[in-house]
Amino acid sequence: MELIIPKNYKPKLNINKIEIAIKLIKDNFERDLSSELRLYRVTAPLFLLKGMGINDDLTGNEKPVTFHINDYNGTSAEIVQSLAKWKRLALADYKIKPGYGIYTDMNAIRPYESIDNTHSIYVDQWDWEKVITPEDRNIVFLKEIVSKIYSVMKRVEFIVYEHYPNINPILPDQIEFIHSQDLLNTYPDLSPQERENKIARKFGAVFIIGIGAKLSDGKPHDIRAPDYDDWTTETEQGYKGLNGDIIVWNPVLEKAFEISSMGIRVDKTALLEQLTLTKTEDKKQLYFHKRLLNDELPLSIGGGIGQSRLCMFYLRTAHIGEVQVSVWPEEMKINCKNNNIFLL
């Protein structure tokens, strides 16, 4: 357990105002995101049947919460870890046309998450997915979508400022783009997290492209599952990856702060290559993967945008527990209380 205690920390808003501000942020961000990306809201599952290949494996090491369904012959179900693959199935089943997509409120439980200022075992995010054409599978299109999401972030930041003038806007006018290999070339002696801290502090907001493939040092910038984001397709610069992370500089915690993980999704070629690279070819027999390999799923781009993460950033809170309800170690609760960090 790691806990950052900002020096002389004092919340910008009291608990009652924070609750009102959370609704303000979520209502406006959801509406503007839907309009900007041409998405409509759908209902999302809280759990999925085990063994279908639909639940997100994350890095492959996390085990989802599993339970038996008594009235289903003892069949097991899993609490979702994310909806990366479920959304693509929904695009196909709902017959969404290219240029349009869906979004939903995703609520997940990740019991193996390391608990700290920014991580909780409860995850809430807007999961979104949009149908694209073969011509859209390129870096230029990826950057266009990232820029649209960033424009929503900027607008909502100003709305927060209008309602709470003591919270000044800090996002730069434009988001910077950099490939993870260029980031490694710039800071070869630093760890991936340290590189993110450097680039986020420098630019204020950055999209790091190419998360999952090995870089020149033989290591990926971060791990990605093999069956949703495309991290092996080569870009025009000769680097790999059609995905990335939106990261901003958090002035309260003084560190890089991830808002969203997103990307163009695997096509059949990328899926087969990534399953081979990760030695998970057995997944080809699962429901989701069969449908993709049988050309039953549309090409898409999608991602998740952390709701509590955004609220943390906009309201300048020091702990994610100030904007969401979860469970925290007793020692953490005591330390927070003693340092003006009031957990909901």
| Residues recognised as catalytic | 56, 110, 125, 245, 258, 261
Spell out the residues 6+ positions from residue 218 whose beta carbon is closer than 8 angstroms to its own: none
Nearest to 194 by CA among 262, 245, 254: 254
CA distance 53 to 84: 11
- Are the beta carbons of 209 and 243 closer than 8 angstroms? yes
Measured CA distances, 249 to 6, 160, 205, 313 (Å)? 15, 18, 6, 9
Nearest to 58 by CA among 29, 80, 25: 80
Tokens of 213: 């493939």
Count of helices and strands (H, E) across the chain: 9, 11
- Helix 139-163 to helix 15-37 angle, to the nearest 10 degrees? 150
Neighbours of 281 (CB within 10 A): 12
CA distance 227 to 44: 20
CA distance 80 to 123: 10
- Bridge partners of 208, per DSSP, are 178, 245
Tokens of 260: 């969203």
- Are the beta carbons of 128 and 33 closer than 8 angstroms? yes
- Bridge partners of 249, per DSSP, are 256
Measured CA distances, 252 to 11, 174, 199, 246 (Å)? 10, 21, 17, 18
- Are the beta carbons of 230 and 264 closer than 8 angstroms? yes
